[in-house]
């Protein structure tokens, strides 16, 4: 008999546990993904810290702390993957604009800003608000920009 799994319900159930466990170790889970690939379930957790790099040992500690509890909450066999998001990973949610405030990013716009031709900018996140959008310091001319969220196609951390 094939078991139907509502992945959104599973995520809703496990997210508070993952967030609390990660925070105990000083990390922020910036993405939690429960997905089926090639007939197998995967739970992927991407951890971030402003204070320190995420190491393999840190990922192992979080994995060990979570696995028994997750086994009780997830009704199917799954593979647990805990890692750092990578240096130039694209942002997957608006909360990353807040988490990475003060960091260098590369922004790709859907449409050029008024009076501009370029759609890709490198700069620093100054602030983010759901209604106001992204307050951004552009490196090439030192200008502060206010970019509506609806005009941002993608964003990722920018490493020199």
Residues 73 and 28 occupy one common structural domain = yes
Question: Of 28, 49, 83, at which residue does a domain stop?
Answer: 83
Q: Is residue 46 included in any domain, yes or no?
A: yes
1 pLDDT tier (thresholds 50, 70, 90): very low
β partners of residue 40: 37
Residue 88 lies in a domain: no
Same domain? For 11 and 73 the reply is: yes
CATH code at position 105: 2.30.30.180
Domain that holds residue 12: 7-83
Number of structural domains found in the chain = 2
CA distance 93 to 85: 13
- Domain-embedded: residue 117: yes
**Statement to judge: residues 77 and 101 lie in one domain:** no
Residues 74 and 104 in one domain: no
Among 4-8, 16-20, 54-58, 145-149, name the one with the lowest average pLDDT. Answer: 4-8
Pair (78, 100) in one structural domain? no
**Model confidence pLDDT, tens digit, residues 92-110:** 888 889 988 888 899 999 9
* pTM of the predicted structure, to 2 decimals: 0.75
For 120-140, give one letter per residue: b (16+ CB within 10 A) or e: ebebbbeebeeeebbbbebee
């Amino acid at each position: 008999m094939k078991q139907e799994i509502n992945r959104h319900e599973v995520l809703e159930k496990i997210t508070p546990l993952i967030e609390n466990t990660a925070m105990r170790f000083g990390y922020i889970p910036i993405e939690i993904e429960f997905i089926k690939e090639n007939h197998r379930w995967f739970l992927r957790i991407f951890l971030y810290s402003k204070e320190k790099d995420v190491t393999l040992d840190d990922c192992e500690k979080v994995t060990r702390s979570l696995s028994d509890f997750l086994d009780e909450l997830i009704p199917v066999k799954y593979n647990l993957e805990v890692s750092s998001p990578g240096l130039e990973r694209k942002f997957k949610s608006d909360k990353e604009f807040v988490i990475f405030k003060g960091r260098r990013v590369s922004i790709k716009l859907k449409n050029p800003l008024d009076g501009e031709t370029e759609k890709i900018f490198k700069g620093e996140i100054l602030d983010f608000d759901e209604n106001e959008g992204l307050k951004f310091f552009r490196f090439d001319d030192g200008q502060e920009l206010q970019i509506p969220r609806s005009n941002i196609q993608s964003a990722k951390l920018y490493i020199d």
